[in-house]
Structure 1
Amino acid sequence: MVQEKNNQGDNVSRRSFLKNGALSAAAFMIVPRHVLGGKGFIAPSDRLRIAGIGVGGKGQGDIAEFAKGPADIAFLCDVDERRAATSVKNFPKAKFYKDFREMLEKEHKNFDAVSVSTPDHTHAVAAMAAMQLGKHVYVQKPLTHDIYEARMLTQAAKRYNVVTQMGNQGSSGDGVRQLMEWHNAGLVGDVHTVYCWTDRPVWPQGIPWPTQKAEVPKELDWNLWLGTAPHKDYVDKLVPFNWRGWWDYGTGAIGDMGCHIIEPPFRVLGLGYPYEVECSVGSVYVDEFKRGYFPESCPPSSHVILRFKGKGGKVVTLHWMDGGIQPERPEELGPNERMGDGGNGALFIGSKGKMMCGTYGMFPTLLPTARTQTANVPQTIARVPEGHYQQWVNAAIAGPKSDKAKMLSSPFSIAGPLTETILMSNLAIRSFDIKKEVEGKTTYPGRYIKLLWDGNNMKITNFDEANQFVKRTYSDGWSLGV
């Protein structure tokens, strides 16, 4: 779960969390308005007290969105005081911490929910620790860094009976619901192939780890930032953004954008775990005659092919392309018409037609595009007028058994399997760099093969070396606590 206790007051053990979780469960009791009475009285159940973990950058935007509704930002936590400065200014009443473990141990009785907007490698330990204390959680995409972590968080959300949401806000948008209605009405027939693409990364990938050390900024606690990751010396510009291109911390272009772009086909087609995956990846020239692959870094581009058993057992093939690679333009699309949103998108190919969308499921379009205006399909799926953030706030206030909780767009029961699919792509990409020495020659047995996936058991069945990427080893002292 979190780091075992080595120094008194610094770290929180699993035993401590479980004990505190019981106290928290007793403390967090919703008192109905009619019991407290009083005209104009705001009952505790009418506002959600949120603790933010990672409150700079995207985290800053997340807590600002929560605060627009019936929520109070009660605590702020960030390992980098520079990144947290705006949130500290905007929420002066919120107490600030650097270590989320200390915050959870000392303050768990004083808030109801947690928002996690840290780098990917910290998502799971922070979210699990909060759920074990009975806290509702909102976690930025991708839900986790590893497949195993995603499965554990999905199970934990149900076990601890908390309200959860992943930060892929497009899942609450009108676009994906429009696509579902077109598909359900049979306008494109049985979808058998989907192409998803992005122009990301917009950060360095496919490069060796820098050899030049840099001075750690005084406002940044580098050891806390590393958390579950192996210890390395700080390098310039890794924080706040370029960590995305390194496997120790990030999940590459698909981790960043897949939850926004793959989510529409995942939801529209009701996909589950893929049963096989294959890929090819781009490389870089390290000199005039030699191409290089750097296993610490995500590749500059990739093409991943995943296959699923869809409805009725029919095979659905999903292509993921990043680094600017795009599929062939459909013949129904005019030569000057935009495909997706330009740099990103998803294209559905069915037995009766095609449809497409951009990032977040925006710009849903039937092909040819003129069909979009003439399609007469009634609205059958409820929209989310309050938006993704307030949907979670309202559901958390109403409680896990409420109708509002049942209507959430991206609870972990949905976000977990989606994240696993995305991370399955990374498993294939990382398998590309597995080396073996055979008779004095270096071979790469994970390249140019098809990996067979047993989703229920989280295991590649035909190339065991690939399974090292299902669950990583945390640095000493850290555990998910399951």
Structure 2
Amino acid sequence: MYDPSQTNRRAFLRQAAAGLTAPFFIPNLLSAPRDGLRLASFGAANMAFATLDGIATHPKVKLVCVAEVDSALLGGVKKKYPDAKVYVDWREMLDKEHKNLDAVCVGTPDHMHAPMAVSSMQHGLHVYGQKPLAHDLYEVRKMTEMARKKKLVTQMGIQIHSATEYKTAVQLIQGGTIGKVKEVYAWSGKKWGDPEPRPDRTDQVPSTLNWDQWLGVSAERPYLKGYYHPGEWRKRIDFGTATFGDMGCHIYDPIFSALQLTSPISVRSEGAAPNAHNWSVNAVIHYVFPGTRFTSDKTVNVTWYDGDERPPREIQAMVGGQRLPGTGCIFIGTNGVMLLPHIKMPLLFPQAQFKDFQMTKVEGVDHYHEWVDAILGKGSTSTPFSYSGPLTEAVLLGPLATFFPKTTLEWNAKKLKFKNSPEANGHVRRAYRAGWKVKGLS
């Protein structure tokens, strides 16, 4: 079994031998890689595979290794990337391979995003992190700060940010097509929650799965077949971040971009609270943000709905009686309305007002390859942690607010704490279990 304490001892000895007082690592990318980019992936299946594959299709990228806790999920990697080394323990992979790497991608369940990303950045590795950036607000802030300190090339996996549909929507708003924005409504029909209590049983762990590694920094608990792994973890408080954490980073992204939003002033949940282990569904969460040059007032309200909840009928009526898409948002402007379905072109209302309007499409780019090119010294990324960190922080305030129904929580982003709720501040940061402390997070 891999012993992470050995890493610490070896690191100390290397540092002592070199007579250094700074951290033992030396970033292996003080300049752009000369012969291509050497990639490692945390996770090998589902979104992790989509991510590593999206990156590795770049002609300058070589997939060196992957860390995967369930050998039953290695089929795709072994078939398409047979030369990639496979590890079960991601810490062992970093310890043994970091000198052979330039960058990593993180596509695991939310609870392990920050430990993996921060540990990689400690080694000077560039990071592509799937959304949400992390499970907790504190983790997100630390990731953002470390990426800035290390001057690393980062990107969050909100691929639609770079697509024609969202880029065009941002251009329309910033161009004043519907005037100044008064308010925004956003929603997703997904239901990543569970009102039922956790089953009181223990199931046998599959022979292919390392359950301890899957739990990672989270507290030990019995394995329950089909309850966490591989696809239900988003519903569970300790591992996922509810529907909002899953889809909010996508849907709030064009809102943040178009309006150039900063951190919210307050957040308020109107829906049910989670139970002891699972997120609730059918959320309604009200945000108040400081106004910007693209909004009509000194503040702007942005409201989130998920599950069966949707914007009020009078708001839906503003899109000409058109049936709302399963996921999307509505911008209410001083001179019109824009409906932005998820991954479809924006629509402008009233239709009569915009019947002769010629919409100019903005050309999209490959979000994955944009990150690779930036590491290789060509251009920059569009969702670096300096942008996606504050976006994720805003999104994660939503699930947190559901613990305190019908309570307006006043947020101080600079101090990373609520002004009026010590209880809510207890949810900003979680404790990692013994033996899983992470430098830069613990």
TM-score where L is the length of structure 2: 0.90
2:197 pairs, out of 203, 208, 212, with 208
CA distance in 1: counterparts of 2:241 and 2:410, whole angstroms: 21
User: Displacement of 1:189 after TM fit?
Assistant: 1.4
Q: Residue 197 and residue 378 in structure 1: after superposition, are their counterparts in 2 closer, same or farther (change >3 A)?
A: closer
Q: Residue 177 and residue 12 in structure 1: after superposition, are their counterparts in 2 closer, same or farther (change >3 A)?
A: farther
User: Displacement of 1:58 after TM fit?
Assistant: 0.8
Q: Is the 1:4–1:477 Cα contact (8 Å) retained in structure 2?
A: no
Q: Say whether residues 1:250 and 2:234 are aligned partners.
A: no
Q: Deviations over 1:118-145 (max 9, x none)?
A: 1000000100011111101101110000
User: Displacement of 1:314 after TM fit?
Assistant: 1.7
Q: Is the 2:11–2:24 Cα contact (8 Å) retained in structure 1?
A: no
Q: Residue 258 and residue 204 in structure 1: after superposition, are their counterparts in 2 closer, same or farther (change >3 A)?
A: closer
Q: Is the 1:120–1:144 Cα contact (8 Å) retained in structure 2?
A: yes
Indicate the SS of the match to 1:248.
coil
Q: Is the 2:288–2:300 Cα contact (8 Å) retained in structure 1?
A: yes
Alignment of 1:454-469 (within 5 A): 454-469=412-427
Flag as ranges the 4+ runs of structure 1 deviating above 6 A. 11-14, 16-21
Q: Which amino acid aligns with 1:294?
A: N
Q: Say whether residues 1:421 and 2:397 are aligned partners.
A: no
Alignment partner, residue 435 of structure 1: none
Structure 2 unaligned blocks of 5 or more:
none
Alignment partner, residue 367 of structure 1: 349
Alignment partner, residue 124 of structure 2: 134
Q: Which amino acid aligns with 2:317?
A: E
Alignment partner, residue 340 of structure 2: 357
Q: Say whether residues 1:345 and 2:324 are aligned partners.
A: no
Alignment partner, residue 290 of structure 2: 309
Alignment partner, residue 273 of structure 1: 263
Alignment partner, residue 310 of structure 2: 326
Indicate the SS of the match to 1:250.
coil
Q: Which amino acid aligns with 2:427?
A: F
CA distance in 2: counterparts of 1:319 and 1:225, whole angstroms: 34
User: Displacement of 1:180 after TM fit?
Assistant: 2.0
TM-score where L is the length of structure 1: 0.83
Indicate the SS of the match to 2:104.
strand
Q: Say whether residues 1:91 and 2:81 are aligned partners.
A: yes
User: Displacement of 1:190 after TM fit?
Assistant: 1.5
Q: Say whether residues 1:449 and 2:428 are aligned partners.
A: no
Q: Residue 13 and residue 448 in structure 1: after superposition, are their counterparts in 2 closer, same or farther (change >3 A)?
A: farther
Q: Residue 138 and residue 132 in structure 1: after superposition, are their counterparts in 2 closer, same or farther (change >3 A)?
A: same
Between the two proteins, the alignment pairs up a number of residues equal to 427
The RMSD of aligned alpha carbons is: 2.4
Q: Is the 1:24–1:108 Cα contact (8 Å) retained in structure 2?
A: no
CA distance in 2: counterparts of 1:348 and 1:185, whole angstroms: 14
Structure 1 unaligned blocks of 5 or more:
32-43, 284-292, 433-446
Q: Say whether residues 1:235 and 2:208 are aligned partners.
A: no
CA distance in 1: counterparts of 2:413 and 2:25, whole angstroms: 36
Q: Residue 256 and residue 413 in structure 1: after superposition, are their counterparts in 2 closer, same or farther (change >3 A)?
A: same
Q: Is the 1:274–1:306 Cα contact (8 Å) retained in structure 2?
A: yes
Q: Deviations over 1:72-131 (max 9, x none)?
A: 111111111112232122211011101111011111111110010010000001000111
| Percentage of identical aligned residues | 35
Indicate the SS of the match to 2:50.
helix
Indicate the SS of the match to 1:451.
strand
Indicate the SS of the match to 1:129.
helix
Alignment partner, residue 397 of structure 1: 376
Alignment of 1:141-290 (within 5 A): 141-201=131-191, 205-237=194-226, 238-282=228-272
